Structure 1
Amino acid sequence: MEPTLRLSKPGRNIQQSQETIYSFLLEVVKKWPPEEVLLEFKRLFIYHVDSVSSDAIQSLYEIVFSNNEEEFRNTLKRSCYILINNWDASRNYKPIQELVKAFSDTTLNRYTSSPTLKRLRQWVDNFVKGKDFEELKLFASRYEDHERGPWSSRYTSYLLVPQYIDLSNPIEQREAARALSKQLKDRFKFDLAMYIARAQTSAPAKQTPKNPTVLGDEVLRLIKAIVARRGPFSYTNLANIFMNQIKNLTYGEFKQSLRQYLIFSVENREFVESLQAKLSERLDTLYESHENDIITNALILRTCNRVIEYLTTENQSEPSQLFILLLSQASPVTLVIVLLKIILICKHARTHLESCIAHLIKYYQDYPEEECTWVVNFLEVFNVTFAIHAENVQYNLIKMEVDGLQPAPMFDPDKYRIFSQLRNEPPFELFPEIIDPEQLLPMDDQTL
């Protein structure tokens, strides 16, 4: 039976209609069981029949009558994230999966003689085929079996980053993306710490927690090699020395120092020569109008963001030539360490880095994993390295055997064990890295 359509109320605009729908969903999601809320959502957007709120269904048709598909899509998207946020806050995760599945309902494909219903169903179908629905599906992907799902699902925490830094997205979507990304990163850090703790004991294999990486036992050697950089030559200490040395330098002098800092202690000469040559080409002409200005935090941030793009993706779509070149010349660890060095001198660039990583994942996600193992290895090393340097986890090496008086000529990871320690985590902020010091620069450089 076709639903009865009503005429619009005079004097109402689209924004008022949208607010009516949002208020209704916000009210019921806080009071009703999830299954009843989901049914009301379906009545509005899938079945298009009278719901408990006649105002809500009427408001939806007022949006449809306006013949504005973009506003309808915005309404549908924000409605989804209102529900997701509230279910996630109350740890009701299953309804989030059911919400995504609702868009596969066969009702959307039924024949209708109503031009209005045809338009509405076509708009929903367009939503399902578009970018917004792909982003929505990430919120259900946390429950999938990642061994059987696409390889890119292992990196959902990064794929969510472009959603929460996009200021055009509704605040509910940004909040949900930010919260889930943090949850997934925390879960990875915890799983990695648990695996390390048990993998170094004599416990039976079946009692060892699952390795959260695809690096196998090599992940232990990787972590030991990274953590071994302690004392005056630790990456953190080198970053602190660099930041002290660049105080009161001009911007031109800063760019020269930055090049030296990034290649310091890199042993692969071919990698160093390529990085030096390619970075010089870009940095020499970067923000030339500020060449003689004293360096500022805003200039540091903008420069670090540009260098990150040179090393990953410059057009936010395809991998940069330098990314491909550097990975072809050295282990992914080398490139990851260079990226880590950038973040250690400019923590506010981390969100931009993770957004670039997300674009790389999207570019390669349609390739079979076996065809892009070099990229997967890079992503795994990146994931582990930045988990090690997380603010709330500290890793330490303990030597298990005492050699003679002569020091070992080389670091032997097999003679060490790793221990992790959780620190008190700072209070959670919704968008701590999304600041805009770039606005401190003159308007003539805003597009750079």
Structure 2
Amino acid sequence: MNANRLSISQEYPHFVTSKSRPPNLQIAQEEVYSFFVEIVKQLSPDDVLRKFKGLFLDGLYSIDPDYIPGIYSIFLDDNEQEFCNTLKRCCYIIVNNWKTNRKDKYIQKLLNSLVNENLKIKTNDPPLLKIYKSWLETFVNSKDYQELKLFVIKYDESSKGQWANRYTSYLLIDQSVNENNPKEQQEAARRLSKQIKEKFKFELAIYIARSQSAVSSTTRYTNPSILGDHVLRLIKAIVLRRGVFSHENIAHIFIKQTQNQTLEEFKVNLEKYLFFSVENQEIVETWRQQFADTLSLWKTDCNQEIITKELFLRTCNRVIDCLTTENGKDPSSLFILLLTSGHSLTLVIILLKIILICKNSRRHLEIKIAHLIRFYEKYPEEECKGVINFIEIFNITFAIHAENVEYNLIKMEEEQSSNPQLNLDSYRVFSQMKVDRQK
């Protein structure tokens, strides 16, 4: 038997390599992927973990200077990046299955296995093992490993202090659309992000119902936001705008009125639409003018073109960039200006109005939110109160305007008021799931 056969060759009878004649890397990788796709469906999590360790980790304990452990035998050309890519995809093949089947605690065990103390480089390690251990250490310290940890945050005690972990759904959306990520990672990220958002919507609806009930104990419901009981007044203020002048109706009118307009006309009307009914405070007017100037300078060479669906989408995405982050890294000047002046709700409502006229921009917006979180997460929570408040209001507003939940405000007291916003305490907010009549 070839001495350089994989250490678990009995489990990979078709996967044979030699030091003198390395295998075709891509073929070898596909065989490994297929193996994990098969066993994760058939074996218990403990058995899958054992085989994962047998391939990637167990051989790193050897003291034989000529031994090439496990999967490392297909990376004889010191192809560290391909090793990391292979390890990452194998992890996501396993994670995707376990997350679907609610075996989250095993995902934590999988990630913990990669940071075992015995896997650290030792002075008496053979040269080859030092190289392979350094590859593993690089992976554990990489962004890829941090992204994997998003799938086990509630099981990771050390992550509880990270404020950005409260907004995992956006970071997962960013993963799900990155075409450089393996398909298993994109699918797992997309599924988990949706679950987190649905859970927030459900918990918000339950909190609203129980917190307004005189018979409910405060120990029986949990506020999914960190805004405290103040969130009820915020929700009432958001829901209050109904009827003819609801955001949805105004959006519908805008779409009809801007058909067949030129891009130049559309940009002017878009600015008016977004700022319709916004309080004319001096800081907001300054911000509005800066926004109008920025938008007017965008794609001036296309100003006389009739707005198409594609151009409509690109314009809305451009507006989102202006209001959040233009380069995907740093917050835009408009974003900073509105947050530092305490107008988070104004910004959120404007972003909502964009999505109400262009639902296809929703994912683009959520990716931009993820970029903002990545920018601010390196700062302590105390220094990020403005952006955290913005994200909390954003979450609540978009949960209220979700496609599958309907919120209504009902006046509970006899007296009427010409301006109901002055007496929000006399109203109660009710939520109910919408029925999809197409099914």
Following the alignment from structure 2 to structure 1, what is the Cα–Cα distance between the partners of residues 160 and 169?
A: 18
Alignment partner of 1:80 out of 91, 94, 113: 91
Q: Which amino acid in structure 2 is aligned with residue 93 of structure 1? A: D
* Superposed CA offset, 1:78-123 (max 9, x none): 1010001111122211111111211211221153543332222111
- Residue of structure 2 in register with 1:205 after alignment: 217
Tell me the SS of whatever aligns to 2:345.
helix
How big is the shift at 1:136? 0.8
Tell me the SS of whatever aligns to 2:378.
coil
* Superposed CA offset, 1:363-419 (max 9, x none): 111222222211111111011111111111111111111215x64564421011111
How big is the shift at 1:132? 0.7
- Residue of structure 2 in register with 1:220 after alignment: 232
Q: Verify the 8 A CA contact 2:408 2:431 in the aligned structure 1.
A: yes
- Residue of structure 1 in register with 2:59 after alignment: 48
1:393 equivalent in alignment to 2:405: yes
- Residue of structure 1 in register with 2:285 after alignment: 273
Following the alignment from structure 1 to structure 2, what is the Cα–Cα distance between the partners of residues 194 and 122?
A: 49
Alignment partner of 2:26 out of 9, 15, 18: 15
Q: Which amino acid in structure 1 is aligned with residue 396 of structure 2? A: V
- Residue of structure 2 in register with 1:196 after alignment: 208
Following the alignment from structure 1 to structure 2, what is the Cα–Cα distance between the partners of residues 409 and 378?
A: 25
1:25 equivalent in alignment to 2:36: yes
- Residue of structure 2 in register with 1:172 after alignment: 184
1:128 equivalent in alignment to 2:140: yes
How big is the shift at 1:149? 2.8
How big is the shift at 1:289? 2.4
- Residue of structure 2 in register with 1:318 after alignment: 330
Following the alignment from structure 1 to structure 2, what is the Cα–Cα distance between the partners of residues 206 and 409?
A: 27
Q: Which amino acid in structure 2 is aligned with residue 327 of structure 1? A: L
1:71-110 map, 5 Å:
71-110=82-121
Ranges in structure 2 where 5+ consecutive residues have no aligned partner = 6-17, 62-67
- Residue of structure 2 in register with 1:288 after alignment: 300
Q: Which amino acid in structure 2 is aligned with residue 107 of structure 1? A: N
Following the alignment from structure 1 to structure 2, what is the Cα–Cα distance between the partners of residues 251 and 148?
A: 47
How big is the shift at 1:277? 2.0
- Residue of structure 1 in register with 2:11 after alignment: none
Tell me the SS of whatever aligns to 1:339.
helix
1:129-168 map, 5 Å:
129-144=141-156, 148-168=160-180
RMSD: 2.3
Q: Verify the 8 A CA contact 2:348 2:390 in the aligned structure 1.
A: yes
1:417 equivalent in alignment to 2:424: no
- Residue of structure 1 in register with 2:390 after alignment: 378
Q: Verify the 8 A CA contact 1:100 1:140 in the aligned structure 2.
A: no
CA separation of 1:293/1:417 partners in 2, compared to 1, >3 Å: closer, same or farther?
A: same
Tell me the SS of whatever aligns to 1:70.
helix
CA separation of 1:224/1:143 partners in 2, compared to 1, >3 Å: closer, same or farther?
A: farther
Q: Verify the 8 A CA contact 1:195 1:210 in the aligned structure 2.
A: yes
- Residue of structure 2 in register with 1:349 after alignment: 361
Q: Which amino acid in structure 1 is aligned with residue 95 of structure 2? A: I
How big is the shift at 1:336? 0.5
Tell me the SS of whatever aligns to 2:430.
strand
**Once structures 1 and 2 are overlaid, which stretch shifts more, 109-118 or 77-86?**
109-118
- Residue of structure 2 in register with 1:443 after alignment: none
Following the alignment from structure 2 to structure 1, what is the Cα–Cα distance between the partners of residues 420 and 189?
A: 47
Tell me the SS of whatever aligns to 1:261.
helix
CA separation of 1:104/1:145 partners in 2, compared to 1, >3 Å: closer, same or farther?
A: closer
Following the alignment from structure 2 to structure 1, what is the Cα–Cα distance between the partners of residues 209 and 158?
A: 23
**Once structures 1 and 2 are overlaid, which stretch shifts more, 278-287 or 295-304?**
278-287
Following the alignment from structure 2 to structure 1, what is the Cα–Cα distance between the partners of residues 437 and 143?
A: 34
Q: Which amino acid in structure 2 is aligned with residue 38 of structure 1? A: L
Q: Verify the 8 A CA contact 1:146 1:154 in the aligned structure 2.
A: no
* Superposed CA offset, 1:260-314 (max 9, x none): 1111100142243223322223222212222111101111111111111111111
Q: Which amino acid in structure 1 is aligned with residue 145 of structure 2? A: F
Identical aligned residues as a percent: 51
Following the alignment from structure 1 to structure 2, what is the Cα–Cα distance between the partners of residues 127 and 266?
A: 48
- Residue of structure 2 in register with 1:34 after alignment: 45
Tell me the SS of whatever aligns to 2:410.
strand
Q: Verify the 8 A CA contact 1:164 1:175 in the aligned structure 2.
A: yes
- Residue of structure 1 in register with 2:244 after alignment: 232
- Residue of structure 2 in register with 1:362 after alignment: 374
CA separation of 1:224/1:378 partners in 2, compared to 1, >3 Å: closer, same or farther?
A: same
Q: Verify the 8 A CA contact 2:22 2:76 in the aligned structure 1.
A: no
Ranges in structure 1 where 5+ consecutive residues have no aligned partner = 51-56, 428-448
Following the alignment from structure 1 to structure 2, what is the Cα–Cα distance between the partners of residues 420 and 168?
A: 40
- Count of matched residue pairs: 418
Q: Verify the 8 A CA contact 1:336 1:382 in the aligned structure 2.
A: yes
